[in-house]
Amino acid sequence: MKTPPHSAEAERGIIGSILLDTQFGEDARVLDLCQAHGLTPDSFYEPRNRILYETFREMSGASAPIDAVTLTDRLRATGRLDQVGGIAAIQALVDNTPTSAHAEYYIDIVRQKHLLRTMIQRARETEEKCFDETQSANADILLGEVEDTIAFYPDSIQMRYRLAQAMAQNAKGEAVDSLLPPLTEWFDAHGPAKEAARAHHLAALSLLQQSRMEEARGELSLALKADPSYKARQFLTATPSA
């Protein structure tokens, strides 16, 4: 059986860059880049790297400082230190990452490998459905589902990145006009199926057009609660708040 696409070196490069980036008292630039590009724990193939990245996000969400010492303490407190190889493994990540300057390059590699794994998984799921007579009775419907699933994933990465950019710029008081047309066009084309969510969806569109990003995010959350199948889930679960 073939090993799924991944790059252990790029994954370690990201983790090491996050530690290196914050080691000198700077802002968590690399972690922000990761989240802006849509990386989630599942983007990492190696289990230890998923745990480390998830821990970074938890610490960032709690406004906790991130370095080798605080990371070790957090992992020990949550019983996950041994799962990542212990203190020596964490220190090795720092020692083996000479600079964080190449972080964006590593991020793109990991993002693309994750996309390849996702496409492979979607293809396997599609194959199973094709052999399942209960799901393949209408090939036209199945084809539509497959096209929607495959086409949506890369599109969501691009739009999620733009939404993150817009929210970050909005938080700094910067203009987001150039980012709003593609965002509003995407959300307008991917509205919720259930009527109960439609009003919140339309409210979010209006707020987006007014550059009121955080309020728009709130309306999208309400729409998602009313319609769990709403595709905005891709943005709300992976896009950092402003």
Domain-by-domain residue ranges, the chain? Answer: 8-103, 144-236
| Cβ-contact 201, 122 below 8 angstroms | no
User: Do 18 and 97 touch, CB atoms closer than 8 A?
Assistant: no
Tens digit of pLDDT for each residue in 9-55?
999 999 999 998 865 555 568 888 887 777 889 999 999 999 999 99
Q: What's residue 24's pLDDT?
A: 52
Select from 54, 48, 60, 56 the least CA-distant residue to 86: 48
With 60 as the cut, is the pLDDT of residue 71 above it?
yes
In this prediction, residue 78 carries a pLDDT of 95
Q: Euclidean distance between the first and final Cα of the chain, in Å?
A: 43
Query: Is the pTM for the entire model greater than 0.85?
Result: no
In CATH terms, 8-103 corresponds, of 3.50.50.60, 3.90.180.10, 1.10.760.10, 1.10.860.10, to 1.10.860.10
Average pLDDT over residues 97-108: 90
Can you tell me the distance from the alpha carbon of 200 to that of 215, in angstroms, rounded to the nearest whole number? 11
Q: Which residues make Cβ contacts (< 8 Å) with residue 155, sequence separation at least 6?
A: 186
Give the integer Cα–Cα distance in Å for 145 and 233: 17
